[in-house]
Amino acid sequence: MYNYKLNFICCFLTLFLVVTTSLLAQNNTNSPYTRFGYGELVDAGLSAHKSMGGIAFGVRTPSGINPANPASYTSADSLSFLFDFGAGGRLSHFSQTDGLKKTTFTGNIDHIALAFPITKWMAISGGILPYSTAGYSFSMRDSVESFPDSKQWARYSQSFIGYGGINQVYLGLGAKFFNRVAIGVNVSYMFGYLTNAQTLTFESAGIADSYRNTEIRVGSINLRYGLQTFHTFNQAHTVTLGGIFEMKSNLNGNAQIDITDIKPDTLDKKFEIPMIYGAGLSYSYKNRLMVGVDFMQQRWSDALFFGVKDSLHNRTKLAIGGEYRHNPVSKRFLERLTYRAGLNYATSYILQSGGDMSVSLGFGIPLRTTRTILNVGFEYGRMGLGAQRSIKEELFKINLGVALNEFWFYKRKFE
C-alpha cells in the first residue's frame, strides 16, 4: 500500500505539473507597471499565507505547505499527505492625471504544491509557483512637428502590449533535528518568457509607422536555503524563528530585438536574479492563535538586467499578520473557522522611489467529515505609493485554495 501511494503521488504530480505549467503561462495581471524589469514579482506563499499579509519565513503549521521556507516541511504530521491547489482573480482600477479611468479583471491558476514525509524527521515537497508575471495593453496619443521649425504638427499614437512571466518548478527537502531545529533546501527550475511590443502609428500620410518588439527567454536552476528553530513552553506556547537565503544566480537568458526595417537580432546579454535574504518570527498558542512578522530584502541593484546593473533597485518587504480559530474541534461551524488578516509594504524594484502596499483578510473553511480546508482570501493594494507617476493603480484580489490533508502513511491493524 505504501509503494502504491508513492507511485500515485509521482503520477499525480507529473500530470498536474504539465497541466499547470501551460495554464500558468497565461497572464494574471493587467498593469502598465509590469512593462519594466521582469514584471510584477510574486512571493512564494500560498493562499493561506497571502491572507496573512504574506508572512511565511517563521510559520510552521501541521496542516499546510510553506514553500517560502523549505525548513517548514518537517512541521507536518509524519503520517500526512498534503496537497494545495490555488487560483486567483484580480480587479485593477487605473486613473490618470488627465481624468481617464479604466478597470480590468484577470484570473488564472496560481499554484500547485504537495508534501509528504520520508521519515519521522524528514519530508519532501514539490510543485510549481509563479515568480513574476507581466501583462498590459495601453495606448497614448500626442503630436509632433513633421519637420524641424515647420510649424506643422503630425498626430500619432503609441501602443504598448506585453505578456508572459517566469515560473518555477521546485523540489524541496526538509530535515528536523533534536525537535528544536529544522533545515531545508528548494531546488527550482526557473523558466519563462517576457514579450514587450511598442508600435508608433502616424495619422498623417507620408510618415512611416514603426515598431519595436523585445522578447526575453530564461531557463536556469536556483537554490533557496531555509532554517527554523522552535521551542514550545508549557505545552501551549510556541515561538519560531526562521530565515531564508538565496545566492545571486544567472538566469541563462537571451533577448531578441525586432525593430522596423532591421533584421531581428539576438543579444548576448546577461540576466540575473538577486541575492535574497529574509527572516521571520512567529508565536502560536496551541492550535488556535498564530501571529508573525517577516522581513525580506532582494538585492536587485546588484543583479544584471540586459547586462547592466543600473536599471533595477533593491526591494525590501515587511509583513505582519496572523490567524485565529476559536475551537478547531467544535461542532459549531463558526467556531471551527480560521480567521486571517495581515498587511505588508514593499519598496518597488522598478521605481526609484515609492512602494507597494496591501492589506488582506481571509478564512479557512473546514469541510465536514474531512481534514480538507478551503482557503478564501481578499486583498486590497495600491501600487507605486509616493512615486511621481501619471497613472495610479488600485487592485482588489481574491485568492482561492484547497488544502488537502489526509492520513496516508500508516499500516492498518486487524484483530
Q: What is the pLDDT of residue 204?
A: 66
127: domain CATH number? Answer: 2.40.160.60
Strand, coil or helix: 288? coil
Q: Report if residue 385 sits inside a domain.
A: yes
Q: Report if residue 154 sits inside a domain.
A: no
Measured between alpha carbons, how far is 156 from 143 in angstroms, rounded to an integer? 6
Q: What is the pLDDT of residue 1?
A: 46
Q: Tell me the one-letter amino acid at 238.
A: T
Lowest mean pLDDT among 82-91, 152-161, 297-306: 152-161
Q: What is the pLDDT of residue 78?
A: 74
Q: Which residue pairs, CB below 8 angstroms and at least 24 apart, start in 260-266?
A: 260/208, 260/209, 260/210, 260/211, 260/212
Most trustworthy range by pLDDT among 9-18, 130-139, 379-388: 130-139
Q: Report if residue 150 sits inside a domain.
A: no
Name the residue among 323, 329, 413, 326 with its Cα closest to residue 371. 329
Q: Which residue has the higher pLDDT, 3 or 270?
A: 270
Helix, strand, coil share of the chain (percent; to 5): 10, 60, 30
Q: What is the pLDDT of residue 13?
A: 52
Q: What is the pLDDT of residue 4?
A: 44
Burial group, residue 412, by CB count within 10 angstroms (0-12, 13-18, 19+)? exposed
Q: What is the pLDDT of residue 34?
A: 81
Q: Report if residue 262 sits inside a domain.
A: no
Q: Kindly report, residue by residue over 195-246, the tens digit of the pLDDT.
A: 988 888 777 666 667 778 888 899 999 999 999 999 999 888 999 999 999 9
Q: Rounded mean pLDDT of the chain? A: 84
Q: What is the pLDDT of residue 131?
A: 94
The per-residue DSSP string of 96-128 comes to: ETTS-EEEEEEEEEEEEEEEEEEETTEEEEEEE
Q: Which pLDDT band holds residue 109 (cuts at 50, 70, 90)?
A: confident
Q: Kindly report, residue by residue over 251-268, the tens digit of the pLDDT.
A: 988 888 877 766 776 777
The CA R_g of the chain, rounded to the nearest whole Å, is: 24
Q: Which residue has the higher pLDDT, 195 or 31?
A: 195
Which cell goes with 235?
505545552
| pLDDT surpasses 90 at 295 | yes
Q: What is the pLDDT of residue 2?
A: 47
Q: Tell me the one-letter amino acid at 61.
A: T
Q: Report if residue 76 sits inside a domain.
A: yes
Q: Report if residue 19 sits inside a domain.
A: yes
Measured between alpha carbons, how far is 301 from 232 in angstroms, rounded to an integer? 40
CB atoms under 10 Å from CB of 127, counted, come to 25
Q: What is the pLDDT of residue 415?
A: 46
**8 Å CB contact between 41 and 28:** no
Measured between alpha carbons, how far is 204 from 144 in angstroms, rounded to an integer? 11
| pLDDT surpasses 90 at 171 | yes
Q: Report if residue 175 sits inside a domain.
A: yes
Q: Report if residue 310 sits inside a domain.
A: yes
Q: What is the pLDDT of residue 79?
A: 78
**8 Å CB contact between 262 and 297:** no
Per the structure, the complete domain to which residue 368 belongs is given by 2-139+159-190+212-256+268-407
Q: Kindly report, residue by residue over 93-105, the tens digit of the pLDDT.
A: 877 766 677 788 8
Q: Tell me the one-letter amino acid at 383.
A: M
| pLDDT surpasses 50 at 297 | yes
Q: What is the pLDDT of residue 188?
A: 96
Which positions ≥6 away from 100 have C-beta within 8 Å?
none
**Mean pLDDT, residues 144-151:** 57
Q: What is the pLDDT of residue 397?
A: 93
Measured between alpha carbons, how far is 364 from 359 in angstroms, rounded to an integer? 17
Name the residue among 205, 170, 202, 200 with its Cα closest to residue 184. 170
CA distance to 189, 291, 346, per residue, from 28 (Å): 21, 29, 20
> Which letter, b or e, does each residue of 248-279 get, where b requires 16 or more Cβ atoms within 10 Å of its Cβ?
bbebebbbeeeeeeeeeeeeeeebbbbbbebb
Lowest mean pLDDT among 9-18, 283-292, 388-397: 9-18
Measured between alpha carbons, how far is 402 from 295 in angstroms, rounded to an integer? 27
The angle subtended at Cα 121 by Cα 117 and Cα 124, nearest 5°, is 35
| Helical spans, DSSP H, in 25-95 | 47-50
Q: How many domains does the chain have?
A: 1
Q: Kindly report, residue by residue over 42-72, the tens digit of the pLDDT.
A: 998 899 999 999 999 999 988 889 999 999 9
